[in-house]
Structure 1
């Protein structure tokens, strides 16, 4: 278990430690970030990035009495294993999250939070009642037919997958990460975000995730979500060039029991642009 120290809280006056740990799922290492030991479990899912997107808010959630767990999906981030076109689909990833929750003994009602394609996985879990979830949060998530975006969709082409090299993929991810970080982008932060993709296994897993991206998985969930009484919160960076605010507004208007909180001057990863605002919205909703 390693320790990562994040300075600051919602009022930027304290210092909180975030730990990286692991548990075995399907015979492979499932890596996760966590903070705190007690309190309501908050399971946080990433999409085309990795658990790093949640790091700025984990300590803040723990300070509020919550137990956040941000897991790296298989083959991505710091987790072991490798995704293929079958295991990278939204339903297959949802099945894996259920197995991860079992391995972690996450019993009782939990709060589920999803970013980007991780939001599709979270929607699937709630719509199909796969986990006991009493709060659902989507942060700049894919919804309806909002995805895959162009930078991901190109990797659905088998010819692209067969010919793309490491340098080309890393350049594409650098461009996407820089845009997603918006005003928070610095060379050091971009490099930190890109680090997992220096591993060929992670690059292959990411291309499988991109290749399996299909908006039918979210479109098909709409009727069930419309019937769901689980309270839902949308946290949205207003300047997101990937998942437009209009999709969040549509979700809030069509899906009952949904509240929308927008984050000004924030992009696709508002946790980096305004961690205090995002953490505050999460804490108010989850506690």
Structure 2
């Protein structure tokens, strides 16, 4: 089978295997095609059932602003294997993994951390743990606590049907029909199937429980001292936009609404999203350097 068109790696983007003290993680690394990576690096963490490929459309643009950008598969996702132990997939455990990855990515420099959807809840734990050397934190299409709305229903279906029927059943009877009704191209549907079936079943179950039942830690995050950005699509069908706007207010965070986007701004509006991130990251760096 040929490689889906959207999976063709842009110039400057390569496959990377990250080795840490807590394990090995599949990643994509983007570097400037011209010039050097003179700015602090960025680490991008995907959401539930997602992967590093969810950031493919923004990697080259982000790197061209002069920084190294790395997107990863979390433990149990797609090309990063995971154990059968459900405790390996709590937000706290996955956040500790991200902590180790951030240390690798930064190599002594502060790192701009971004978490998409469930990845935001995970990366929030990295921030709150306080060990990582971070330059900023972005919550992309993420929320203050457990997910609500249409995507909550999808998570509950996963919890009830996966143990009884398995991943193949869920793909054939739930996810593939949804993708086809939405007009997703055949090559992308083929990739989505391959990715879902590569996930750890234990991880899918445990992460579903985590994304549904996460507790509100906004007040804790507000005291992190980091520059914070809340970025989401104007039509988000995960956490409602009004809830994310309220979270940004509680965090005293910058808030960016991406016009026309739903739950995946990096896919649906890559240039707008990359421009907003680059501006925020550059400003955060300037503020940190001024503070000495």
Q: TM-score per shorter chain, which class? A: 0.7 to 0.9
Partner Cα distance (1:25, 1:156) in 2:
31
Q: Deviations over 1:123-168 (max 9, x none)?
A: 22222313121211111113234357111133334xx342122332
Once structures 1 and 2 are overlaid, which stretch shifts more, 49-58 or 101-110? Answer: 101-110
| Deviations 1:171-228 (CA, angstroms, capped at 9, x unpaired) | 434466679xx78x433223323322233x53443233213435344x1x22212223
| Count of residue pairs brought into register by the alignment | 267
TM-score, length of structure 1 as denominator length? 0.83
Matching of residues 159-178 of structure 1 within 5 Å: 160-171=161-172, 172-174=174-176
Structure 2: segments with no counterpart, 5+ residues: 1-6, 283-292
**Residues 223 and 235 (structure 1), Cα distance of their counterparts in 2 relative to 1, 3 Å cut:** closer
Secondary structure of the structure 2 residue equivalent to 1:240 = coil
Q: Which residue of 2 aligns with 1:9?
A: none
| Distance in 2 between residues matched to 1:83 and 1:231, nearest whole Å | 36
After superposition, the Cα gap between the structure-2 partners of 1:248 and 1:80, relative to the gap in structure 1 and judged at 3 Å, is same
Structure having the larger proportion of residues in strand: 1
CA drift at 1:170: 1.4
**Alpha-carbon distance in 2 for matches of 1:88, 1:177:** 26
- The TM-score with structure 2 as length reference comes to 0.82
- Does residue 1:42 correspond to 2:45, yes or no? no
SS of the residue corresponding to residue 25 of structure 2 reads strand
Aligned match of 1:73: 74
| Structural mapping, 1:224-239, within 5 Å | 224-239=220-235
User: For the structure 1 residues 212 and 123, does the alpha-carbon distance in structure 2 shift closer, same or farther, using more than 3 Å as the test?
Assistant: closer
Structure 2 distance, partners of 1:178, 1:152, is 20
Pair 1:103–1:245, CA change in 2 (3 A): same
Moved more, 60-69 or 21-30: 21-30
CA distance in 2, matches of 1:80, 1:271: 25
Which residue of the partner structure matches residue 208 of structure 2? 210
Deviation at 1:53, TM superposition (A): 1.0
Partner of 2:286: none
**How far has the Cα of 1:83 moved from its partner?**
5.3
Query: Is the Cα–Cα contact under 8 Å of residues 43 and 105 in structure 2 kept in the other structure?
Result: no
Corresponding residue number in structure 1 for 2:193: 194
1:5 maps to which residue? 9
Aligned twin of 2:219: 223
